[in-house]
Structure formats: C-alpha cells, structure tokens
Amino acid sequence: MAQEARKFAETHEWAQAAGDVVTVGISDYAVRELRDITYIELPAVGESVTQGDPFGEVESVKTVAELVSPCDGEVTQVNEAVVDDPSIVSKEPYGDGWLIKIKAADVEQLDELMTHDEYESYIEDQAEEEDEEEEEEEEFSEDEDEEF
C-alpha cells in the first residue's frame, strides 16, 4: 500500500480503501508518540462503526488513546494478531499492524480525511505548537524562580 493512497485523520488513524472495504490502522507518528504499545482493544466482526466515533483503544506505558472510525460501516475483519501481540503495530503500522477492515457504507467519507502530504504538514504544525507550549511553560517557571 503506497503512503500516497492512504488517508489520515487528525486523531492519527490511517484508512486505505479497496473498493468498499476500508483497512484502518494507526500512523507511525502515533506509534512514536505512544511508545511501547501494551494492549489493543478492537470491536468484534459484525459490529457497526460510525465516522468520528471511537471503535477501540490502544494502551501504552504512556497513555490510553481512543481509536476513531474514519467512516460508517460494519467491521468485516479484526487483526487478531495485533490483539495477541500489540508490538506488531509498533513494528509495522502500515503493514501487518493494521487493526480492522470495514465494509464502508459510503467510501466517499474518506475524502474528508487528509492526504499523506497534508497529514505530514499537520503533524509538523502539531510539533511546532507543542514546542511553543513547552517554551511558554519554561518561561513561566523561570519567571516564578525570579520572584523568590
């Protein structure tokens, strides 16, 4: 699957359509931010998912993150290998680390997601915002030190 063919959500899931079947996973950026993934909770085959709503969770030593559906539809396949061994997602987020497959009610919902290039720009902007927030926090704590 070429990166350019994937679509990305602001919540760091990726989606790749093949006809009306959408494969969903998490981006390598999300994997890096989460660090050591320890547990993945996914829906059962046959469950309905709704665009923008959570369908599962990823837990790491750092945090718990919700997984958000990129489209409406029905779960047709769950990657049990990643449930049994979450490290697969860390090693191959775009390959064997996919999470679920959805029979999309409307595959055009993926048009609302970002292209690979748009996503790369988005995460660069996010990193810049985080850097600015850290600088502001450092300045605030330096100001506090000066008061005492």
Tens digits of residue pLDDT in 41-68: 999 999 999 999 999 999 998 899 999 9
Query: What is the reported pLDDT for 148?
Result: 45
Structure-model confidence comparison of residues 82 and 136, the more confident one = 82
Give the residue from 15, 33, 37 showing the smallest Cα distance to 25: 15
For the chain, what is the domain count? 1
- The 10s digit of each residue's pLDDT in 89-110 is 999 999 999 999 999 999 999 9
Given pLDDT bands bounded at 50, 70 and 90, which one contains residue 2? low
Here the CATH number for the domain that contains residue 17 is 2.40.50.100
Query: What is the reported pLDDT for 1?
Result: 45
Given pLDDT bands bounded at 50, 70 and 90, which one contains residue 145? low
Provide the pairing of β-strand 54-60 with 48-49: unpaired
Helical (H) or strand (E) element with 82 = helix 80-84
Domain span at residue 107 reads 3-147
Encode 63-100: b = buried (16+ Cβ within 10 Å), e = exposed.
Answer: eebebbbbbbbebeebbeebeeebebbbeebbeebbbb
Backbone angles phi, psi at 127, to 5 degrees: -65, -40
Query: What is the reported pLDDT for 127?
Result: 76
